[in-house]
Chains A and B, each alone.
Chain A
Amino acid sequence: MELIFAIFIGLLYACGVFLLLRRSIVKVILGVFVLGNATNLIIFLAGGIKRSGAAFIPEGAETIDPAVISDPLPQALILTAIVIGLGIAAYILALKYRYFEETGTHDLDQLSKTDRK
Chain B
Amino acid sequence: MILPALLLIPFLYIILAILIKSKKVKTWLSFAFSLINLGFAIWVMAQVFEAGMIKTQMGSWPAPFGITLVADRFSAFMLLVSALVFAVVTLYSIQSVDTARIKNGYFLFAHGILMGVNGSFLAGDLFNLYVWFEVMLMGSFILISFGGERAQLEGAIKYLILNLISSFFFVAGIGILYGKMGTLNMADLSQKIAQSGDVLSQLSPAMVLIVVGFAIKGALFPFFFWLPASYHTPPPAVTALFAGLLTKVGIYSLIRIYTLFLYHSTSFWNPVVLWIGILSMVIGVFSASSQYDFRKILSFHIISQLGYVVIGLAFYTVAGLAAAIFFLGHNMISKTNAFLVAGWVHRERQTLNLKVLGDMFKKNTLWGVLFFISAFSLAGLPPLSGFIGKYLVIKAGIESGHINVALVALFVGFFTLFSMVKIWIEVFWKNTPPEVEAPVNTKPLPHGLMISASIILALAIVGMGVFAGPVVNFCEMAASDLLNTELYINFVLK
Interface residue ranges, A against B (CB under 8 Å): 20, 25, 28, 32, 35-36, 39-40, 42-43, 45-48, 73-74, 77, 80-81, 84, 87-88, 91-92, 95-96, 98-99, 102-103, 111, 113-115, 117
The CA of A80 and the CA of B151, in the complex, are separated in Å by: 33
User: B178 near A: Cβ within 8 Å?
Assistant: yes
Contact indicator B172/A99 (Cβ below 8 Å): no
Interface residue ranges, B against A (CB under 8 Å): 127, 131, 134, 138, 141-142, 145, 148, 150-151, 153-158, 160-161, 164-165, 168, 171-172, 174-176, 178-179, 184, 228-230, 232-233, 290-293, 296
Question: Which residue on chain A has the smallest CB distance to residue B65?
Answer: A73
Contact indicator A36/B164 (Cβ below 8 Å): yes
Contact indicator B168/A39 (Cβ below 8 Å): yes
Contact indicator A46/B176 (Cβ below 8 Å): yes
The CA of A103 and the CA of B154, in the complex, are separated in Å by: 10
The CA of A40 and the CA of B168, in the complex, are separated in Å by: 9
Can you give 30 A-B contacts (C-beta < 8 A)? A20-B161, A20-B165, A36-B164, A39-B171, A40-B171, A42-B172, A42-B176, A45-B175, A46-B175, A46-B178, A73-B184, A74-B178, A77-B174, A80-B127, A84-B131, A88-B134, A88-B138, A91-B138, A95-B145, A95-B153, A102-B150, A102-B153, A103-B153, A113-B151, A113-B154, A114-B151, A114-B232, A114-B233, A115-B228, A117-B292
Contact indicator B153/A99 (Cβ below 8 Å): yes
Give the A-B contact count at a CB cut-off of 8 A: 96
The CA of A45 and the CA of B160, in the complex, are separated in Å by: 27
Contact indicator B134/A84 (Cβ below 8 Å): yes
The CA of A96 and the CA of B150, in the complex, are separated in Å by: 12
> Distance in Å from the Cβ of B303 to the closest Cβ of chain A?
15
Other-chain contact of B156, A39, A95, A115 (Cβ < 8 Å):
A95
> Distance in Å from the Cβ of A93 to the closest Cβ of chain B?
11
Contact indicator B148/A102 (Cβ below 8 Å): yes
Q: Which residues of B contact A25 (CB under 8 A)?
A: 157
Question: Which residue on chain B has the smallest CB distance to residue A108?
Answer: B157
The CA of A74 and the CA of B184, in the complex, are separated in Å by: 11
Q: Which residues of B contact A88 (CB under 8 A)?
A: 134, 138, 141, 164
Q: Which residues of B contact A95 (CB under 8 A)?
A: 141, 145, 153, 156-157, 160
Q: Which residues of A contact B296 (CB under 8 A)?
A: 117
The CA of A102 and the CA of B142, in the complex, are separated in Å by: 17
Contact indicator B179/A46 (Cβ below 8 Å): yes
The CA of A41 and the CA of B142, in the complex, are separated in Å by: 28
Q: Which residues of A contact B155 (CB under 8 A)?
A: 114
Other-chain contact of B157, A39, A45, A99 (Cβ < 8 Å):
A99
Q: Which residues of A contact B171 (CB under 8 A)?
A: 39-40, 42-43, 81
